[in-house]
Amino acid sequence: MESLTLLASKRSTGKTITWEDKSWVVEEAEPTAFDKLDIAIFSAGASISKELGPEAVKRGCVVVDNSSAFRMDPDVPLIVPEVNAAAMANHKGILANPNCSTAVALMGLYPLHQAFGLKRFFAATYQAVSGAGASAMAELVDQLHAWAKDEPMKVEKFPHQIAFNVLPHVDVFYEDGYTKEEHKMLNESRKIMNLPGLRASTTCVRVPVLRAHSIAINAEFERPVDLAKAREVIAAFSGAELCDEPAEKRYPMPLDYSGKEKCGVGRLRLDAAFDNGLSLWVVGDQLWKGAALNAVQIAEELHKQSALA
């Protein structure tokens, strides 16, 4: 990378961002700002992406978008580089980053799909409050402080108190009873793995954890599952780290995977309900693999593919 440009709304223009003894002055995100850029990573919400993404493409800039704006657009590749980097080759200027829970779940499901052929899965997520933003993290901390002081807890970001509680409610509800977040897990998994017939049912739950999502998965496969082979393919997969020694009390936990690039996969066991089934537990930092890291990996893969062209 020869240069880095930071863009934001007009109210942030002129601010200085410093990291590792280097500083950058924030510029206003307007169409002409993309004239000098090769790749732009968008993470400002769907409305901004829809407004400025096509403008950036017109100016010769490739957009890696972290919002939901283009994920299900048939003309936009939805990318997890460890899974479907080849799908980037025919992009038309915009590449989409998946939802955080989808990206984390696929770090366990995809290598198993390669080995046994994924047919369907059930999942229950345990999603950290950071998935709802910095204000959500502050609300959990404030509620814990209020509880310690025996003071009333303020409830603003979530529909109910999150401290000492779990909420089976992430994003808006649809008429079928599932939430938007739950629909994302199915639809995005189908697109990323190119499995249009994949079936899935998910319950997304917000838990009082600051960072890193956890997902319990029960998956059914086309072929019989060999447990030793399952552990082997997880351990060999570039996006995953096998952490599966229950007798030694070693299994993935949010505290251990906050700030880590790889996602932890553990609690592997033959499923008691499915004939060709496997139960597993996946944990990953949704701010990294579920968002920023995956976007950077897409940009790195873009550079790699262009260099090989």
Give catalytic status of residue 303 as yes or no. no
Tokens 């402080």 belong to 145
Q: Are 225 and 116 in contact (CB under 8 A)?
A: yes
Give catalytic status of residue 213 as yes or no. yes
Active-site residue among 100, 204, 243, 263?
Answer: 100
Closest CA relative to residue 33, chosen from 66, 8, 64, 14: 8
Q: Which residues, at least 6 apart from 43, have a Cβ–Cβ distance to it below 8 Å?
A: 66, 67, 291, 292, 295
Amino acid occupying residue 133:
G
CB atoms within 10 A of CB 93: 16
118: β partners: 221
Measured between alpha carbons, how far is 98 from 227 in angstroms, rounded to an integer?
29
Q: Which residues, at least 6 apart from 249, have a Cβ–Cβ distance to it below 8 Å?
A: none
Active-site residue among 113, 204, 213, 243?
Answer: 213
Which sequence positions are flagged as catalytic? 100, 213
